[in-house]
């Protein structure tokens, strides 16, 4: 079982904080795999307030305390390399520039994003209209991810997961419901997946294939991206290409993934695509203890990721081992402020043994 990457919005001025160290250390176990929240690879990669970066020396230094704390607990720690692409606002962009998008149109995401005004108060504003990304700018996007991997290694992370899912920049290139490019990065499945493959190769060249992973969501609708017109063909192509890199794992957001669905019903309808896989498969998207065991026991997956359940249960590994009752998630505190509320204050089964963790 794996801690999934989850945006929690607790960074300060793009830096990791002591509170974040406590959060990850609470969820670290001997030999366990943690994947960090999405960490922005460039200044123009931010789409939320209070998100961390990995593109400056100060940011690298801020993450070292987090990785050291996790390693003291015996866990393995991957950083998720993230660029939001069009899912941003001009106030979150350098020089108040427009966010970048693979599309030729400038239609913004049709909902509001949280911003912080001059008085420090949270406000809600509509996402900004993006601008098309010119083909000459694509090498810089690839370099952002490569530099992020290099910096993550310097910060002490054991590896990196490339965020190629959920409607962010790489996924927006992949899906034909939004990618209307007519150049080498648009049209066919091969062309639409070209940027993800180039980013993957760049990260592999920087830190090695065994320390590189990729997350994909070929079936999901997220940030107004998807579903693809032929998700099975897209998944088949993506998996076949990524499986040849020798990656640490491929992380699949399953078709059933939804933030608002309470009753998760697991039915791995695309298991035949990954049946003869070389690369370990990590699946996530609402799993319970029972469906996780089924995914592993059936041979469908090698790893199962837990997100919201892990938020509310920092000792989830122990609770699953004991088949103990789970804490209930407070969804209103998923994206938070600089406090511990809804972040590091969920109770442990054994408060005396686990709550007073020193990073």
Any idea which residues carry the catalytic annotation? 168
**The CA-based dihedral angle spanning residues 173, 187, 222, 52, taken in that order and rounded to the nearest 10 degrees:** 0
Contact 248, 149 (CB under 8 A): no
Contact 127, 111 (CB under 8 A): yes
C-alpha 163/C-alpha 196 separation (Å) is 9
C-alpha 331/C-alpha 309 separation (Å) is 11
Helix axes 194-207, 231-242, angle to 10 degrees: 20
C-alpha 84/C-alpha 61 separation (Å) is 23
Contact 211, 151 (CB under 8 A): no
The helix (run of H) or strand (run of E) holding residue 48 is none
CA 255 to chain centre: 16
C-alpha 269/C-alpha 280 separation (Å) is 18
Residue 216, helix vs strand vs coil: strand
């Amino acid at each position: 079982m794996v801690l999934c990457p989850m945006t929690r919005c607790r960074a300060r001025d793009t830096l990791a904080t002591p509170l974040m160290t406590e959060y990850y250390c609470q969820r670290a176990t001997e030999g366990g795999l943690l994947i960090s929240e999405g960490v922005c690879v460039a200044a123009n990669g931010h789409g939320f307030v209070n998100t961390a970066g990995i593109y400056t020396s100060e940011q690298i230094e801020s993450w070292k305390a987090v990785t050291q704390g996790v390693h003291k607990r015996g866990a393995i720690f991957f950083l998720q390399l993230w660029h939001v692409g069009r899912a941003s606002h001009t106030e979150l962009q350098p020089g108040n520039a427009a966010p970048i998008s693979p599309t030729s149109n400038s239609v913004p995401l049709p909902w509001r994003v949280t911003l912080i005004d001059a008085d420090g108060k949270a406000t809600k504003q509509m996402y900004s209209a993006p601008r098309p990304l010119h083909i000459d700018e694509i090498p810089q996007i690839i370099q952002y991810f490569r530099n992020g991997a290099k910096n993550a290694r310097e910060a002490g992370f054991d590896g990196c997961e490339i965020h190629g899912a959920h409607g962010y920049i790489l996924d927006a290139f992949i899906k034909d419901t939004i990618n209307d490019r007519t150049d080498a990065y648009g049209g066919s499945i091969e062309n639409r997946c070209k940027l993800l493959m180039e980013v993957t190769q760049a990260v592999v060249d920087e830190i090695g294939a065994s320390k590189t992973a990729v997350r994909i969501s070929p079936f999901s609708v997220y940030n107004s991206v998807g579903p693809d017109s032929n998700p099975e063909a897209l998944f088949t192509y993506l998996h076949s290409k990524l499986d040849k890199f020798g990656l640490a794992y491929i992380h699949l957001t399953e078709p059933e993934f939804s933030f608002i669905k309470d009753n998760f019903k697991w039915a791995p309808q695309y298991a035949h695509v990954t049946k003869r896989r070389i690369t370990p498969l990590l699946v996530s998207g609402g799993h319970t203890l029972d469906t996780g065991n089924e995914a592993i026991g059936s041979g469908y997956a090698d790893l199962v990721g837990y997100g919201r359940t892990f938020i509310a249960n920092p000792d989830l590994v122990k609770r699953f081992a004991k088949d103990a009752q789970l804490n209930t998630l407070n969804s209103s505190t998923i994206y938070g402020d600089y406090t511990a509320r809804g972040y590091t204050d969920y109770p442990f089964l054994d408060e005396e043994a686990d709550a007073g963790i020193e990073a």
